[in-house]
Structure 1
Amino acid sequence: MTTGTDREISARDDWEQRISTRSDQRDATAVPDLPPPDALSATPGQGHVTLRWAAVPGAVGYLVHRAPAGSPRDAFVPVDHRGGDVLSVPDTWYVDTTGEPGTAYDYAVASVPTVNECGVLGDPVTATALPGDGSVPEVRVAVDTTAEGTPLPRPWQPMIGSERLSQLLCEDLSGGRVIGTELRAALARVHDEVGVATVRAHSILHDDLGVYREVDGEPVHDFTLVDRVYDTILDIGLRPCVELGFMPRDLASDPDKKVFEYGGIISPPKDYDRWADLVSALVRHLIDRYGEDEVLGWDFEVWNEANLTVFWSSTRPEWMKLYDVTAAAVKSVDERLAVGGPSSAAAGWVDELLEHTSRSGSPVDFVTTHTYGNAPLDVRPTLERYGSDARIVWTEWGVTPTHFNPVNDTVSSATFLLHGMKSSAGRLDALSYWVASDHFEELGRPPRFLHGGFGLITVGGIAKSRYHALHLLAHLGETELPVSADGDGADGLVQTWASRHDDGSLTLLLWNHTLDQGKAEGDPALARTVRLELDGVASGADVTATRLDADHGDVTTLAAGLGVGDWPTDEQWEQLKAADSLTAEPATLDGNVLEVALAQPSAVLVRIAAPA
């Protein structure tokens, strides 16, 4: 008999062996030959070098390379910030904190036309990060509070990720807590406090919901448990993004091909007609139960990360067939329903899907893909090449693709979230953080309270730093205000998002962040003091500051101070709950200037009341 521990080890070993293996390494499409960016500059600062360059039309991103000063061209390698699956960045700047201060490096940048291709390197520039000397450099940030401004994008609001939704029905205990009850509470919290509208999860067709079986060789559909799940989601106030997968056992061509501890089947269907009938029957049932107006607002996503062998046991052409059949099945119920994909890992197969559907005629109402450890690439040029007006929805995104990674529990992961949301604002329709709750069991249930889980909220319902960051974003106003900055680390290491509310009050969010996960615990050389200049704000204005750092909102620091072991005691649970929020504290202007200390990593939300 296999024990739970044996199954966990087996699932993890299988995952680690296959997670980096692509289903099809070959490129299917021709991509543009892009020149390297012009006007590359490198500015040294204490503990870092900031690179900037000009945008290249058609680029989805840029890959920064580095070599010891004076090296030949073949010595340049991509700068690895240790974040995960994609090193290319979407912005026209990059902060390198991975080098050795005092050592000179040559930097060069290549344009990236698609995630699998990199153009030629441009001419190099040389810079040397300055060693820390015990001082804290100043960054000046000026906000034009009287400017007309522009609407502030909110990419965090449309969607959040979750463990498979069947767990809403689970009455098992994890860490002494009822899984279904706490998963529901976590989803309700991100809806109520952050304003998230949709939840996306795997496995709505998995056998634990009993949607499909064959009796005497004939298909039987049963959506009873799907109804219970979606009733719960709608009762919270959310809508589902319906990810159509994994494969029911009785419909699978190879039911032994599985992923995760719970055994999601990753093979193609043995009968595409029966698969299409299942999909159309599900969609028709959802409309019958919830109404046309409701379900027309849902997205139907085809599969999950089929470009990885761990999630798809067949080939890319076979998945493209699955996409065509699935999209047709959804549209057969109502042409107005939204269907999309490729729901790929590491921004893969976007070109390939659009190329395929340009020939097959299948609809792509929205494009979905995933990335971790970096801000999402800008796939708008890809869609433009194919004449597509599809929405762009990143249905998974996070600080790391790795389960049980300690970085998930750090303040650095919170500033990563702020950086990614700001970077992506205005160039995509949704950026869905993966996932809401640590009640998550792909590779086994949580072994302890703080275990590096993907969740924004712990088992027991305590907010991690990443949740606090998301909640701080929700406090931003309706209008984005222009900001100018200068000094050591300005507009790179130190970032600002400034806003005005309709009532005239102001909310400003500042943070200190590097993508370098080698600095996840912080580097004193990267600390900065911000001189925040608020043009148009009177000196006597009512100002508060809400801090997020190692001493404010960091559950790791709090748990360590309480002496929490694998799981909190009853008394420690109560102490954790009592500290489960950030506190706004009064701040004083010097004229129209506020001085803000920003350790790395940390964030500060500044609120200024409307004039009386």
Structure 2
Amino acid sequence: MDKLFHIESGKEVAFHNNATYCVGTGRMGLALHKEYQEQLKMVQEEIGFSHIRGHGLFCDDMAIYQEYKDAEGNIVSEYKFTYLDRVMDDYLSLNIRPFLELGFMPEKLASGDQTVFYWKGNVTPPVSYERWAALVQETLRHLIKRYGEAEVTGWPIEVWNEPNLKGFWKDADMKEYFKLYEYTANAIKAVNKNFKVGGPAICGVDDEVWMTEFLEFVKSSQAPLDFVTRHHYTIHPPEREGHYEYARLGDPDAGLKELNTTRKIVDSFPEFQGMHIHITEFNTAYIPDSPLHDTNRNAAYIAYLLSKLGEDNESYSYWTFGDVFEERGVPYTPFHGGFGLVANGLVPKPTFWTFKFFRELQGKCVCRERELVVVQKQDKYCGVAWNLNYDNTGEILNITCELPAGDEEYCLVQKIVDEKHCNPLKVWHDLGEPANPGTAQLKLLRESAQPLVTTQRLKGSAGTVAVALELQQNAVVYFEIFEAPVSSDRGYDYNKVMNSLDISVE
């Protein structure tokens, strides 16, 4: 397939790119693991997300909530912030700040014993809303004392996670969640009015009803609300085989239409019109053992989503940055279909590079098409193109992008991620799918997980320079083009150097 895009001088196209505002993480307690920190360091050095969001702030492995009975038999709450400080210190040292999700329920504060995940996060309401509110407030006050008011009040706060699912909130009780939200939001604002708080953090089950009812509740109760949150996944129900679930991708435009419906619901309330919507989780599959996550197809699909998600949403947080993640237990192999951008063993997956490439798309957008985004910076053009192929037809996509240019000479740089280049999953398979790769195998996997870099010289003509891109199946390609006049050292002739290679030596 061949496609030609001609970009006119002075043209500007709407493109809200907030791909690196936030990224997801496994439960907060996992941040105490060495490899978790190593993976996050890699992600921050290469991509640089601004915020990080995950479950488990108040779960018992973080040990924040404690209580005892006094001499009269009254329950007295106390708080231990030892682990919280370690995690927050590490986050800030990597220049990433929390998007705080408040949950799950500490066992001693829970009204029931229903839990979720291998690590048993309690999903029941608090036995005492007053003690829950105090827990939230004391945690925020501690963070302010340690890191400063200006710093901490800039951290967004989300109340709970997916309360519209029975697995995440007992009975998916809407009224009980609204009670939790109101108590929590008011408690937060009582600590400092500058905190930004939001919800309802729902996924795509009865989402229209939940969003409408939530906004009606906030309107009538006057509970604080600074932003709206929801989640977005894009697969059909998967098929289970052994440890894995195999999923078929859904139509991305159908999913985006669902998000647009949320935007319309929010805007239908005069009080909330234009309010920011944060997608605090998104990915293709919603399960942590879906091999789809490890593929180049996932990378190309996510590239298309990143080109579109900013149309209705302020931000969209990829779930998750790394595979130190244990919802269904400790993973069996490095390529187990985990959510992460980085496989265990510090191997970047193809989707890692999708985010790295979109990080560079800051500037004036001059082209946004179904398979291409181009931005103009002060001294160059940068672009990302992708060839999403659902059916493994192997069809190649040839894109020619005609950019405004003078008659100067230019350098075109390409970084190519496709199934032939930068496909560590294939290399792992060819190695025999080792569950615990050795040092040499991990080194090879990391080497195979790097984009192919190519360069070439081009010359402008008749006011344009033509950038030709060949995209293999499920490729994601970054390119940049800039003026690069040759300024050779005295006596140096590159063409003579290369031509001399053809001269035989007698």
TM-score bucket (shorter structure):
0.7 to 0.9
- Residue 393 (structure 2) aligns with: 523
Secondary structure class of the residue paired with 2:483: coil
Question: Which whole-Å deviations, capped at 9, do the CAs of 1:526-569 have from their partners, x for residues lacking one?
Answer: 43222332232647311122111001221112223444422212
Partners in 1 of 2:452 and 2:327 — Cα distance?
A: 34
Superposition pairs of residues 386-425 of structure 1, within 5 angstroms: 386-387=269-270, 388=272, 389-425=274-310
Q: 1:439 aligns with which of 324, 333, 338?
A: 324
Aligned to 2:439: 570
Match of 1:586? Answer: 455
Partner of 1:267: 124
Q: Please state whether the residue corresponding to 2:180 is helix, strand or coil.
A: helix
- Which residue pairs with 1:464 in the alignment? 349
Q: Is 1:182 aligned to residue 63 of structure 2?
A: no
Equivalent position amino acid for 1:435 in 2: T
**2:302 and 2:190 mapped to 1: Cα distance?**
39
Paired with 1:284 and 1:230, the residues of 2 have a C-alpha distance of 14
Which residue pairs with 1:192 in the alignment?
45
CA distance in 2, matches of 1:582, 1:331: 47
When residues 431 and 538 of structure 1 are mapped into structure 2, their CA distance, relative to the original with a 3 A threshold, is farther
Say which SS state the counterpart of residue 553 (structure 1) adopts: coil
**1:281 aligned to 2:167?**
no
Alignment equivalent of 1:323, drawn from 181, 189, 193: 181
Equivalent residues of 1:147, 1:482 under 8 A apart: no
Q: CA deviation at 1:457?
A: 0.1
Post-superposition offset of 1:184? 1.2
1:551 pairs with 399, 420, 427, which one?
Answer: 420
Q: Residue 348 of structure 2: SS of its match in structure 1?
A: coil
Does the CA-based 8 Å contact 1:480-1:498 persist in structure 2? yes
- Structure 1: 5+ residue stretches without partners: 1-136, 170-179, 484-490
Match of 2:363 among 478, 494, 497: 478
Aligned to 1:384: 267
Distance 2:384 2:23 in 1: 22
Letter matched to residue 54 of structure 2: A
3-state SS, counterpart of residue 425 of structure 1: helix
Aligned to 1:167: 30
Q: 1:372 and 2:233 equivalent? A: yes
**When the two structures are aligned, how many residues end up with a matched partner?**
448
Cα contact 1:161–1:434 (8 A) shared by 2:
yes
CA distance in 2, matches of 1:538, 1:451: 51
Partner of 1:311: 168
* Secondary structure at the counterpart of residue 160 of structure 1: strand
| Counterpart AA for 1:168 | A
Change (3 A) 1:253 1:444: same
* Equivalence for 2:340: 455
Counterpart contact for 1:155–1:428, Cα < 8 Å? no
Deviates more, 1:457-466 or 1:595-604: 595-604
Residues 419, 473 of structure 2: 8 Å contact kept: no
Q: Residue 89 of structure 2 corresponds to which residue in structure 1? A: 231
1:206-245 deviations in Å (ceiling 9; x for gaps)? 0111111221132222222211111111111111011100
Match for residue 211 of structure 1? 64
TM-score for the superposition, normalised by structure 1: 0.70
Residues 364 and 390 in structure 1, CA contact (< 8 A), matched pair in contact too = no
- Amino acid in structure 2 at the alignment position of 1:232: D
Structure 1 contact 496–509 (Cα < 8 Å) conserved: yes
Distance 1:454 1:482, change over 3 A: closer
Following the alignment from structure 2 to structure 1, what is the Cα–Cα distance between the partners of residues 80 and 397?
59
Q: Does structure 1 retain, via aligned residues, the 8 Å contact 2:7–2:366? A: yes
Alignment of 1:65-104 (within 5 A): none
**1:225, 1:548 → 2: CA distance?**
38
**Structure 2 residue ranges without an equivalent (≥5):** 70-74, 235-251, 486-506
Q: TM-score scaled to structure 2, two decimals?
A: 0.84
Residue of structure 2 equivalent to 1:610 = 483
Q: What's the CA shift for 1:151?
A: 7.6
| Aligned partners of 1:507 and 1:607 also within 8 Å | yes
Q: Distance in 2 between matches of 1:559 and 1:540?
A: 41
| 8 A contact 1:505–1:611 mirrored in 2 | no
Closer, same or farther: CA 204–476 of 1 in aligned 2, 3 Å: same
Inter-partner Cα distance in structure 2 for 1:404 and 1:559? 17
**Structure 1 contact 437–458 (Cα < 8 Å) conserved:** yes
Query: Displacement, 1:508?
Result: 1.6
The answer on 1:297 being equivalent to 2:154 is: yes
SS at match of 2:170: coil
CA distance 1:150–1:364, change in 2 (3 Å): same
In structure 2, how many angstroms separate the alpha carbons of the residues matched to 1:560 and 1:247? Answer: 41
| Letter of the 1:161 counterpart | G
Q: Among the aligned pairs, what percent are the same residue?
A: 30
Shift of 1:576: 2.0
